[in-house]
Structures are given as C-alpha cells and as structure tokens.
Structure 1
Amino acid sequence: MTIKEVKECLNEDLQGEIWADIEGYETLYQVSNYGRIKSLSNSLGRQEKILKQHIQRDGYKRIQLSKKGQKAKFPIHRLVAIAFIPNPLGKEQVNHQNGDKLDNSAKNLNWMTRKENIAHAHETGLVKKNNNPVIATHLDSGEQRQFKSQTEASRELGVYMKNISNALKGKTTHVGRWAFEYLSDTAV
C-alpha cells in the first residue's frame, strides 16, 4: 500500500461513525465513536484530517491537541467516553470492557469507579496474580489487615496492585494511606 493510499484510508468515512466536538476544543477537533480524532478545517487554509495517535508505554493511545499555542496530551478512551457515554453517577474512570486498551470504540467503553475498574481487571485476568501474603497498615489509625496476596489487597482496598508492589519494593512509602509489607512465614 502506498503512502497516498494509507492517507486516503485514514480519512475514509467508516459506516456508522459519528463525530462530536471535543470539550474545550470545539471548532478545532472532533472525536468519533470509533475512537478516531480529526482536526477541523479553518478559514486560514487548514484542511480537515484524521490525526495519528500514539501508543504510550502504559499501552494506551493518546493524542496531542493544541489550542492558542498550548499543547496537551489526552487519552483517546477518555475523549470518546466524555463525548459519547453518559455518566450520570459521576464515575471517574473509563474501563475497556474487553480488556483491549487499543479498542477505543464507544461500544467497548464504560464509566467505573476506581474500585470497580480494579475489580474488573482482576475478574478478567488482566492483572497477574501474586500470591505472596502481605500486611497493610493504615497510616492514620494503625489498623492492620492481612491479605493472602497483593491481588486480594488490591481488590479489597481499591488500590492498584502495581502501587502495592512499588511500596513492597521500597519505591514508595505508602499507597492511599496504607503501608505494605510482606507477611513473614505466617499463614493468613
């Protein structure tokens, strides 16, 4: 496929594709229900075009938008969700229902709380299990809780397992007001 054919394919209309303004960037950019982003034409001669998305180290696609000389990066899944998925309960995170971070179509996304999103990751096997028992100590109350694994602690406390792992490795001191340590030779 030639470069010209690739560009034509990118700008091709997809059946059932719906476009909506990006909040805060009206008249400049739009997002589609399929997760594509386009810049809009203007009176200065800029042509409408589909923008290239970049996959970041965390596996999510992001796009850089510019307005009045200010540039900002946005995760594509959030732009799609804000434009196309009602959020009457004000949930703060966008979940990929099929677990594929690159599938940013509106039909694959839904709003969740942080705790719901973590539970979904565990239920679908997106988070690998770590079966080393851990103790979590609350920094304010001193309460201690024992868990069979980092996975269980993550699910019960509503914090990301990677953050627990970082605390156990000494990269951070605590996670969400909880300090973590491995349980030494005692069954939970």
Structure 2
Amino acid sequence: MTMEVWKDIAEHAGYQVSNLGRVRSVDRIIEVRCPWGHIVKRRLKGKILKATVHPETGYVHVTMGAGVTKMVHRLVAKVFVPNPLNLPEVNHEDLDRTNNVDTNLTWVTSSGNKDHSYASGTRKQHGLTQPVRLVRPGYTLQFDSMLDAAKHIDRNPGSVASAFHRGHLCAGWQVEAG
C-alpha cells in the first residue's frame, strides 16, 4: 500500500495536496473583528476538502477559499509529477478521470492527450475528422475526413457535414460514413 505524502500547493497558501489525490486546508490563525471593534485571533483547524466529480467532464475538482475551483489532477501533477519539458496538459494513464494518484498522471502535449484518448476509444473523432465516402452512381471516393472531402469538391466542410447528417446531396454527392 502506498503511503500518503502531503505537500504545500505553491499557488495556494494554506492548502496541501497528497500523492493519492486528496486536498486539504492546513491549521491556521486568522484575525477577525468582534462586534465591539476589537481584533481577535482565531484558530481554524485544517480539513480534507470535499472533492466533487464534474457531471459533464468527469474530472474531480475542489473549491479552495472564496469560490476558487481547481481540478485535482492538475494540483497533484504540479506538485508531484516532474514536467521538465513544460508540457501543458495532464493525462490519466488508466483513462479514469477520478484516479488522481501521482503514479497515474503524466504531462503531455494537447495532441498527445487527444491521441491517447482516441487510441483507447474513450474519445470519438470530431465529425469533421471522421472518414467519409462521396458516392454518385458509378463513383465512390474515399476520404480520411470530411475536411478532405470538402476540399476535393470545393465546398464548405459544414455543407459536407450537413449532407452527411441529414442525408441530402452535397454538390451532387451522397456523403456516407467511411
């Protein structure tokens, strides 16, 4: 079993993140003004922050302080995963967006992140990048994408996509899944 290690989050004083993907506030002393005007020091005990899974993206996030919401996988990666090439995105190696353990995270390029999800089948190709066929009586042309098909028949890619989804012709061609 992996031992949990806590480290400070540089950009967020008073908070720590663990290598197992948890975030906590630390014990701290704050000053508050009493109703009669005196300033008193008050001790606040740190606590583990409630992690929430975003319903649309599936990523785990926490709220830190005054409405500052951060994705946990990025906090863990910034603190525990070396990024010598200064890559912009964090990839979940096992494709589970709720598994924010440091050993499951790697820094990648944007295209590397997308390639990983396409290869695993968790992300479908964007409509304009999916393979299509243009069909006419006696002719069938195969293309790697709707974009390529649109260039070939000198039409807007949106027109090709519309013909594909609605079943009508585009420049006299029927557009089918490739």
Q: Report the TM-score when normalising by structure 1.
A: 0.62
1:56-106 per-position Cα deviation (integer Å, ceiling 9, x unaligned): 12111111111xxx4311000000000001111111000000000000000
Give the distance between the partners of 1:179 and 1:47, measured in 2 at CA: 57
Give the distance between the partners of 1:105 and 1:179, measured in 2 at CA: 41
**Cα gap change, 1:29 to 1:133, in 2 (>3 Å):** same
**Cα gap change, 1:55 to 1:149, in 2 (>3 Å):** farther
Match of 2:21 in 1: 35
Which residue identity lines up with residue 144 of structure 2 in the other structure? F
Match of 2:46 in 1: 48
Instruction: Say what the alpha-carbon RMSD is for the aligned residues.
Output: 2.9
Specify the structure having the higher radius of gyration (Cα).
2
Gaps of 5+ in 2: 30-41, 134-142, 148-155, 165-172
Does residue 115 (structure 1) correspond to residue 111 (structure 2)? The answer is yes
Q: Which has the higher strand share?
A: 2
Give the distance between the partners of 2:26 and 2:103, measured in 1 at CA: 24
Matches within 5 A, 1:3-152: 15-26=2-13, 28-43=14-29, 44-57=42-55, 58-66=57-65, 70-128=66-124, 133=132, 147-148=144-145
**Cα gap change, 1:186 to 1:53, in 2 (>3 Å):** closer
**Following TM superposition, by how much is the alpha carbon of 1:25 offset from its aligned partner in structure 2, in angstroms?**
1.4
Report the number of matched residues: 134
Gaps of 5+ in 1: 1-13, 135-145, 151-177
Give the distance between the partners of 1:108 and 1:149, measured in 2 at CA: 35
Query: How much identity, in percent, do the aligned residues show?
Result: 31
